[in-house]
């Protein structure tokens, strides 16, 4: 083996690498639209966005659709339309309420059906102001020969939990709206307000298309502000919409200020502009206002989305406008949507101009005006318990019981792993900056800084390579203290590195995110990880560290063709190694005797990952690595391995090793050296 002479770069060696992941992103961080080079690449990008939405909202895998049990009553007849009160159950005992506007004297139908989610108006779906009126647009949709359904945001008007009822009608709807699932432990299950509201929108579409006088091929959705968010989120994940019109919400500078618009991981890689573009090539109009964050609709957001429509030769199906008003869904904006929907949905009496209308009194539109829900209504706590039990049942159904079912399990859960951990396989995008290289009698030591192209990450690492012919396997070592845990004061290998080199195994030790050289207490204290608005836009420490392991693995794969990668995590870093196991060839993990039944453990800053408990925790993640070798030690009595043992046993070459006590460095080195 020929080695370069000893090189020193003292200034580089002393410099603490700057990792851009420490820059905290917020809902107001400007976002740029990605450069898309082909239709196929966009379709892959859009698939990733859809998966991320569903994972972030706790809807992957999709829940079973239980009976809606809809109730429609209290019909009011007007000259050319009627209004009814409606409620249905999105989950058993969870009631969504609204009003149904139908055309009269417009023929027998079937008619186009329009969903109308509302924004954060003080009065919810009852809002009727110059700057925005839900009643106005629903009445005029009905007058044109369309069926319009306006339904509540969670906590507004008639959609609430019995333990949050307000018989005095003095409760601030927005405050009640944002109460749902605020405990940090709910983040572990991806139970959040956005997830519930998105599910309610899916079920509202189910209700609308179930009506015998609705044409299922002509379904649409339009809403303003937070209702605009609901519109393009639904459009991204549900292809039943023939067209959509998100109003004053598609922005590259503001992503949504309410918890109903933010979910863990949703916008770490993607923005609202990209999410709205997922509707392509289905017809869409977006409307902006000069007086809010959509002021650049005609110069930035609109042209960016239009480029996606061009890949489908569907530019004529996309329209965008900006009007000179403050934040609104006023008559001017509504008329732009009427005109567009008329051209797409072909109602029997299209009309782009509004005529005078009379809005009904609140009391005549309210579904539960006395604040009393049906007797089997779930409380907020009961719904959260239901959602957790549902996640456990879904996972139990997916758990493989034979070799054939392993592939189906992986097909569903590997995307959930990627989007929950926010990881990617760099695939040739790893950059290795050499700081110095020196040799000793039996091995070389190279100081490196690894990064991914255009990601801004920086991973200090030490690569120890035997001078003799190296073993096929390379060991990647991680520790809470970083690479310093594996070397002496003079940077000579000790402990596990020494034991591995004695067996001619190459070793790469890492300073994963905010460990070792990259440690930064000031940055760490500023990272409020168990916060919804942090996790929507930023990776947690653990997510970053798992990605660092996969980045290091990609580096070795590129550097040593044919090499196999065994990741070895010591102490709490063993848990990070386990989370990376689906992306490497083998794993050795110190399980730190973790009590996996304790939310307090999952919420610790060096372990916290939103959605990790919904994913199934370490058992599910490690099961996704089957049949790759896995050695889990120091499991103690609280670290569950039952399902993992069962799944590995399905494979004829059961390569799972378990030990309750912590393994010695010699034992770990021996196990890695025995790998084929």
| ω into 110 cis (within 30 of 0) | yes
Same domain, 135 and 232: yes
pLDDT at position 6: 30
In this prediction the pTM is 0.96
Is the pLDDT score of 4 beyond 70? no
d(CA 164, CA 355): 39
Report the candidate in 195, 237, 262 with the shortest Cα–Cα distance to residue 46.
237
Q: pLDDT grade, residue 489 (50/70/90)?
A: confident
Report the candidate in 647, 646, 635, 600 with the shortest Cα–Cα distance to residue 183.
600
User: Which range is least confidently modeled, 110-114, 307-311, 641-645?
Assistant: 641-645
**Cβ proximity of 264 and 536 under 8 Å:** yes
Is the pLDDT score of 472 beyond 80? yes
Share of the chain above pLDDT 90, in %: 90
Is 12 among the domain residues? no
Same domain, 299 and 205: yes
pLDDT at position 525: 86
pLDDT at position 428: 77
Same domain, 525 and 437: yes
pLDDT at position 17: 57
Same domain, 428 and 315: no
pLDDT at position 470: 81
Is 2 among the domain residues? no
Those residues whose C-beta lies under 8 Å from the C-beta of residue 293, and which sit 6 or more positions away, are 251, 253, 254
pLDDT at position 1: 33
Three-state SS at 478: strand
Same domain, 589 and 524: yes
Same domain, 327 and 473: no
Is the pLDDT score of 490 beyond 60? yes
Report the candidate in 232, 224, 247, 249 with the shortest Cα–Cα distance to residue 127.
224
Is 291 among the domain residues? yes
User: Which range is least confidently modeled, 211-220, 512-521, 573-582?
Assistant: 512-521
Is the pLDDT score of 166 beyond 90? no
Summarize the confidence of residues 138-161 as an average pLDDT.
Answer: 97
d(CA 336, CA 320): 9
d(CA 675, CA 671): 7
**Cβ proximity of 358 and 135 under 8 Å:** no
Summarize the confidence of residues 482-492 as an average pLDDT.
Answer: 90
Three-state SS at 395: helix
539: tokens are: 């990776």
Same domain, 622 and 666: yes
424: tokens are: 């990617």
How far apart are the two ends of the chain, measured CA to CA in Å?
A: 23
Is the pLDDT score of 46 beyond 60? yes
Expressed as residue numbers, the domain containing 266 is 46-385
Residues pairing with 569 in the sheet: 478, 589
Alpha helices in 252-379 (DSSP H): 272-277, 302-311, 331-345, 362-365
421: tokens are: 């951990």
Exposed/middle/buried for residue 290 (C-beta within 10 Å: 0-12, 13-18, 19+) = middle
d(CA 323, CA 547): 43
Those residues whose C-beta lies under 8 Å from the C-beta of residue 14, and which sit 6 or more positions away, are none
pLDDT at position 169: 60
Strands 111-117, 214-224: pairing is: parallel
Same domain, 256 and 327: yes
Summarize the confidence of residues 311-335 as an average pLDDT.
Answer: 98
Which one-letter DSSP state was computed for residue 301?
Answer: I
d(CA 538, CA 250): 20
Is 242 among the domain residues? yes
Is 394 among the domain residues? no
Give pLDDT tens digits for 633-642: 999 999 999 8
d(CA 556, CA 461): 12
Q: pLDDT grade, residue 12 (50/70/90)?
A: very low
pLDDT at position 7: 32
Give pLDDT tens digits for 589-616: 999 999 999 999 999 999 999 999 999 9
Is the pLDDT score of 427 beyond 90? no
Same domain, 180 and 312: yes
Q: Among 359, 385, 411, where does a domain finish?
A: 385
pLDDT at position 277: 98
Is 624 among the domain residues? yes
- Torsion, Cα 409 410 414 416, to 10 degrees, reads -10
Q: How many structural domains is the chain composed of?
A: 2
Same domain, 434 and 339: no
**Cβ proximity of 227 and 119 under 8 Å:** yes
pLDDT at position 652: 87
User: Which range is least confidently modeled, 113-127, 210-224, 431-445, 661-675?
Assistant: 431-445
Q: Among 339, 362, 385, where does a domain finish?
A: 385
CATH classification of the domain holding 592: 3.40.50.1820
Same domain, 440 and 370: no
Give pLDDT tens digits for 502-552: 999 999 999 999 999 988 888 888 899 999 999 999 999 999 999 999 999
Report the candidate in 292, 293, 243, 290 with the shortest Cα–Cα distance to residue 272.
293
Give pLDDT tens digits for 228-268: 999 999 999 999 999 999 999 999 999 999 999 999 999 99
Is 220 among the domain residues? yes
Is the pLDDT score of 332 beyond 60? yes
d(CA 293, CA 272): 12
Is the pLDDT score of 3 beyond 60? no
Three-state SS at 203: helix
Summarize the confidence of residues 563-580 as an average pLDDT.
Answer: 97
Is the pLDDT score of 293 beyond 70? yes
Is 37 among the domain residues? no
User: Which range is least confidently modeled, 15-19, 111-115, 153-157, 534-538?
Assistant: 15-19
Is the pLDDT score of 55 beyond 50? yes
Give pLDDT tens digits for 365-415: 999 999 999 999 999 999 999 999 999 999 999 999 999 999 999 999 999
Those residues whose C-beta lies under 8 Å from the C-beta of residue 260, and which sit 6 or more positions away, are 153, 154, 177, 178, 193, 194, 197, 226, 229
Q: What average pLDDT does the chain have?
A: 94
Same domain, 577 and 500: yes
């Amino acid at each position: 083996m020929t080695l370069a002479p000893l090189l020193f770069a003292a200034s580089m060696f002393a410099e603490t690498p700057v990792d851009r992941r420490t820059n905290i992103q917020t809902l107001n961080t400007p976002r740029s639209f990605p450069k898309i080079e082909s239709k196929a690449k966009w379709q892959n990008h859009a698939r990733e966005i859809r998966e991320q939405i569903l994972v972030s909202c706790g809807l992957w895998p999709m829940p079973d659709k239980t009976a809606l049990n809809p109730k429609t009553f209290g019909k009011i007849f007007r000259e050319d339309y009627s209004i009814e009160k409606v409620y249905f159950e999105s989950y058993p005992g969870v009631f969504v309420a609204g009003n149904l506007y139908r055309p009269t004297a417009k023929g027998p139908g079937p008619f186009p059906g329009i969903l109308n989610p509302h924004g954060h108006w003080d009065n919810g779906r009852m809002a009727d102001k110059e700057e925005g009126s839900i009643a106005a647009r629903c009445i005029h949709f009905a007058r044109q020969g369309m069926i319009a359904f306006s339904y509540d945001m969670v906590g507004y008007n008639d959609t609430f939990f019995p333990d949050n009822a307000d018989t005095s009608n003095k409760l601030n709807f927005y405050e009640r709206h944002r109460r749902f699932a605020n405990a940090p432990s709910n983040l572990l299950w991806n139970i959040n307000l956005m997830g519930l509201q998105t599910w309610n929108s899916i079920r509202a579409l189910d209700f609308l298309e179930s009506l015998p006088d609705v044409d299922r091929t002509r379904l649409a959705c339009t809403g303003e502000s937070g209702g605009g968010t609901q519109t393009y989120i639904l459009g991204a994940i549900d292809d039943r919409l023939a067209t959509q019109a998100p109003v004053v919400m598609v922005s590259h500078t503001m992503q949504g200020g309410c918890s109903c618009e933010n979910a863990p991981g949703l916008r770490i890689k993607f923005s609202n502009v990209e999410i709205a573009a997922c509707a392509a090539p289905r017809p869409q109009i977006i409307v902006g206002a000069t007086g809010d964050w959509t002021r650049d609709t005609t110069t930035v957001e609109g042209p960016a989305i239009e480029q996606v429509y061009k890949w489908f030769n569907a530019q004529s199906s996309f329209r965008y406008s900006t009007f000179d008003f403050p934040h609104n869904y006023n008559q001017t904006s509504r008329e732009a949507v009427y005109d567009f929907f008329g051209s797409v949905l072909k109602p029997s009496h299209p009309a782009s101009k509004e005529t005078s209308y009379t809005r009904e009194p609140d009391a005549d539109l309210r579904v539960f005006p006395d604040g009393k829900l049906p007797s089997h209504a779930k409380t907020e706590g009961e719904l959260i318990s239901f959602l957790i039990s549902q996640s456990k049942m879904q996972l139990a159904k997916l758990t493989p019981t034979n070799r054939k079912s392993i592939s189906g399990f992986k097909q569903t859960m590997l995307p959930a792993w990627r989007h929950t951990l926010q990881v990617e396989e760099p695939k040739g995008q790893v950059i290795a900056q050499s700081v110095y290289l020196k040799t000793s009698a039996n091995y070389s030591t190279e100081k490196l800084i690894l990064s991914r192209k255009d990601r801004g990450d920086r991973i200090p690492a030490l690569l120890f390579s035997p001078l003799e012919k190296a073993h096929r396997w390379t060991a990647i070592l991680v520790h809470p203290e970083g690479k310093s845990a594996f070397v002496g004061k003079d940077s000579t290998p000790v402990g596990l590195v020494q034991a591995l080199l004695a067996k001619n195994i190459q070793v790469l030790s890492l300073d994963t995110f905010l460990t070792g050289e990259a440690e930064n207490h000031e940055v760490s204290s500023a990272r409020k990880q168990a916060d919804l608005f942090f996790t929507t836009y930023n990776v947690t420490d653990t997510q970053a560290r798992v990605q660092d392991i996969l980045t290091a693995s990609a580096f070795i794969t590129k550097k040593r063709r044919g090499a196999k990668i065994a990741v070895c995590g010591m102490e709490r870093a063993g848990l990070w190694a386990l989370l990376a196991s689906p992306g490497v060839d083998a794993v050795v993990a110190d399980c730190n005797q973790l009590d996996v039944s304790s939310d307090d453990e999952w919420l610790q800053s060096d372990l916290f990952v939103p959605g990790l408990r919904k994913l199934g925790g370490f058992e599910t993640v490690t099961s996704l690595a089957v049949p790759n070798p896995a050695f889990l030690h120091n499991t103690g009595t609280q670290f569950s391995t039952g399902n993992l043992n069962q799944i590995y046993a399905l494979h004829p070459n059961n390569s799972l090793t378990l030990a309750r006590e912590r393994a010695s460095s010699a034992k770990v080195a021996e196990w890695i050296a025995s790998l084929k």
